[in-house]
Structure 1
């Protein structure tokens, strides 16, 4: 490719070749991406013949010739007559916009809504493939984070997506997480804004689409002042900035729509935000995104999202800490018709978060049995005091074990509640105690021996044998 580049540059010196207008400043003729080659020149027959002559000479020297079945020629601002003559001269088919490259449709004009339909089609296809599977909330969160939002982030790292597309993506993700009822997601208490907060701020780790889109594209703004050697940065300075400072640059008529979008990012960020997001020569979109959030750090997030806790238990513990479960008192406030508001397990008092986990006779017996076996003080039988107890500072290993047991107990109580509601029977305290005991025993095996002292290792073995 270096030989071809030198040949094209040499031919451009003494010939009727003319550069493509937007590439003249940098004298840019060709670009190579992996195994793809792009050639740029003026849309005239004379310039095309120069390029064709270089390609023929390159084929003679290397044996690499044009494959007419894979190559296309694209035009901009060229008459239909001239297009036909050029296509005939090159023996190539004229390509039409949008041009699809690496799965992304690209066009020289503003992105249209139909260009984004391919994203929504991929989202819906994924959802359809998962619909027949019985997935827990933790599994759905993983699929949304790794697959759906990963796909969204790929597109957002290239374009500013239309707001209608961003909202539709969030609607699809919300419906998949909570379950769908027609065109709406099923009943749930947490708002999508709450779910999209970072875990450290009390959310589940998703990111708001519009804000994240701007934060990801801000890397291009950051590169304008920190990466002057990049080709596209040189192009921007040659065509638009021309020595001006980006933050003081005034948009002029005739700018490309993409450049306008980048310039509009100045309305959302400050130069100081960009500087702080750059760490050791790399731009951290997450750091910039978090700097835009006006939230208080959640004191429970280390407890809830501890790696030693089972994923299903983490999500349940997050819901309990934030009072997000669909208990009967919450359903009643949401004007859902219920035959009874009494607890399904004890059938004595109104069902609520506080009652299910801290006041129900079954729950108090289970908590006492579990914590007695492990040698810990049982948690307080009051929701607010329990939150204080949960956030209490403990030694690292003790905290890991208490968090693990606490989450397992919470999960078991809620599953038993649902079992009473849907199937009409309750498990025994002894059975749930054994289940929690085995969960604790095997999850403690993942605690790295390198991270705990010998004394703590002996303590963990002692608990596993109880």
Structure 2
């Protein structure tokens, strides 16, 4: 490729070659991306023939020839007669937009909703493939974060997606997370705005589509401000900025749609915010995104998202702390008709989070037995005191194990409540205790090598033997 590049540069000395009008100032002729080659020249027959001669010479020297089935010629501002003459002479098919490169459609004009159909179809296909599997909420969260939003981020890293596409992606993710009933997601308490907050702010770690899209593309603004040696930055300076600062640039009417979109990002960010998001020569979109959030940090997130807690227990604990389970008091506030508001476990008091987890006889008895096994005093049997208990500093092996066990206890209480509600019977306290012990011991077997001190090993040994 070095030989080809030098040959093309030598062809510039030929008076027949003419630079592309948008590349003349930088004397830009070709770009190489892995095994792909783009060549730019003026849309005249002599200029194209001079490029063709270079390619023919390269084919004779190296044995590499143009693949006519995969190569195309694209025109802009060239008459139809000249297009036909040039394409016949160079023996290449005329390409059409949108041009698809690395799975992404590219066009010189503004994006349309139809350009994103392949993107939306990939989303729907993946969700349909997963629909037949019995996935927990924690499993769905993992798939949304790592696969669905990863696919969305790939496109957002390149373009400002149309708002209709962003909203459709969020609708599909929301439906996959909570389940779909007809055309709407199933009943749930947490709002999508809450879910899209970072975990440190009380959310599930998703990101709001519009704000995240702008935060990702802000890396281009940062590069224009601090990376003058990049080729595309030099091209922008040559064509648009004319050595002016991006922040003082006045948008002209004859610029491309993509440049117009980048310039419009200035109204969402300040120079100080963009500068703060760059660290050690690298731009951090997540840092810029978090700086734009107005919510306070959540004081429970370190407890909720402890690594020792099973993922499905984390999600349940997150819902309990935020009072977002579908208990009967919440269903009443949503105007859902109910036969009774009483707790389905004890059938003696109105069901709410405080009663179910702290006041119900089964729950209080279960907590007492579990914490006797752990060798700790039971958690406070009132909701407010329990929340204060969660904010305490929980460092050390014993504290981490207590966190893991109480999350398993919360999950067990809610699971038993659902059995009472849907199947009409309750497990005994003894069975629930044995289930929690089994889950805890299995988890401790898997992570026991992390605890090195003799005191920690003795404590774990006692738990496993009891």
Aligning the two structures, in what range does the TM-score lie when normalised by the shorter sequence? over 0.9
Question: Structure 1, unaligned stretches of length 5 or more?
Answer: none
| Offset from partner CA, 1:194-234 (integer Å, 9 cap, x none) | 00000000001100000000000011111112222211111
Counterpart in the other structure of 1:460: 460
Counterpart in the other structure of 1:292: 292
| Offset from partner CA, 1:26-49 (integer Å, 9 cap, x none) | 111111111111111111111110
Counterpart in the other structure of 1:325: 325
Answer yes or no: is the 8 Å Cα contact 1:15–1:50 preserved in 2: no
Question: Helix, strand or coil: the match of 2:416?
Answer: helix
Give distance in 2, aligned partners of 1:103 and 1:240: 29
Counterpart in the other structure of 2:373: 373
Question: Helix, strand or coil: the match of 1:425?
Answer: coil
Give distance in 2, aligned partners of 1:333 and 1:273: 41
| Offset from partner CA, 1:293-345 (integer Å, 9 cap, x none) | 01111110000001100000000000000000000111011111111111111
- 1:114 and 2:114 are equivalent in the alignment: yes
Q: 1:105 to 1:421 in 2, by over 3 A?
A: same
Counterpart in the other structure of 1:194: 194
Question: Helix, strand or coil: the match of 1:344?
Answer: coil
Give distance in 2, aligned partners of 1:242 and 1:187: 55
Give distance in 2, aligned partners of 1:328 and 1:254: 60
Give the C-alpha shift of residue 263 in structure 1: 1.0
Question: Helix, strand or coil: the match of 1:111?
Answer: coil
Counterpart in the other structure of 2:95: 95
Give distance in 1, aligned partners of 2:453 and 2:208: 41
What are the within-5 Å matches in structure 2 for residues 354-393 of structure 1? 354-393=354-393
What are the within-5 Å matches in structure 2 for residues 39-78 of structure 1? 39-78=39-78
Answer yes or no: is the 8 Å Cα contact 2:99–2:105 preserved in 1: yes
| Offset from partner CA, 1:422-450 (integer Å, 9 cap, x none) | 12211111111111112112222344656
What are the within-5 Å matches in structure 2 for residues 19-418 of structure 1? 19-418=19-418
Give the C-alpha shift of residue 286 in structure 1: 0.5
Q: TM-score, normalized by length of structure 1?
A: 0.98
Give distance in 2, aligned partners of 1:234 and 1:313: 52
Give the C-alpha shift of residue 14 in structure 1: 2.5
Question: Helix, strand or coil: the match of 1:37?
Answer: strand
Give distance in 2, aligned partners of 1:73 and 1:105: 17
Give distance in 2, aligned partners of 1:248 and 1:400: 53
Answer yes or no: is the 8 Å Cα contact 1:449–1:457 preserved in 2: no
Counterpart in the other structure of 2:435: 435
| Offset from partner CA, 1:38-82 (integer Å, 9 cap, x none) | 111111111110000111111111111111111111111111111
Give the C-alpha shift of residue 465 in structure 1: 2.1
Answer yes or no: is the 8 Å Cα contact 1:196–1:203 preserved in 2: yes
| Offset from partner CA, 1:120-143 (integer Å, 9 cap, x none) | 111111111111111110011001
Give the C-alpha shift of residue 269 in structure 1: 0.8
How many aligned residue pairs are there? 466
Q: 1:297 to 1:448 in 2, by over 3 A?
A: farther
- What's the Cα RMSD here? 1.2
Give distance in 1, aligned partners of 2:445 and 2:280: 37
Give the C-alpha shift of residue 163 in structure 1: 0.7
Answer yes or no: is the 8 Å Cα contact 1:305–1:314 preserved in 2: yes
Give distance in 1, aligned partners of 2:286 and 2:113: 27
Moved more, 220-229 or 170-179: 220-229
Give distance in 1, aligned partners of 2:341 and 2:397: 40
Q: 1:378 to 1:450 in 2, by over 3 A?
A: closer
Give distance in 1, aligned partners of 2:14 and 2:76: 25
After TM superposition, the runs of 4+ consecutive aligned structure 1 residues lying more than 3 A away are 445-454
Q: TM-score, normalized by length of structure 2?
A: 0.98
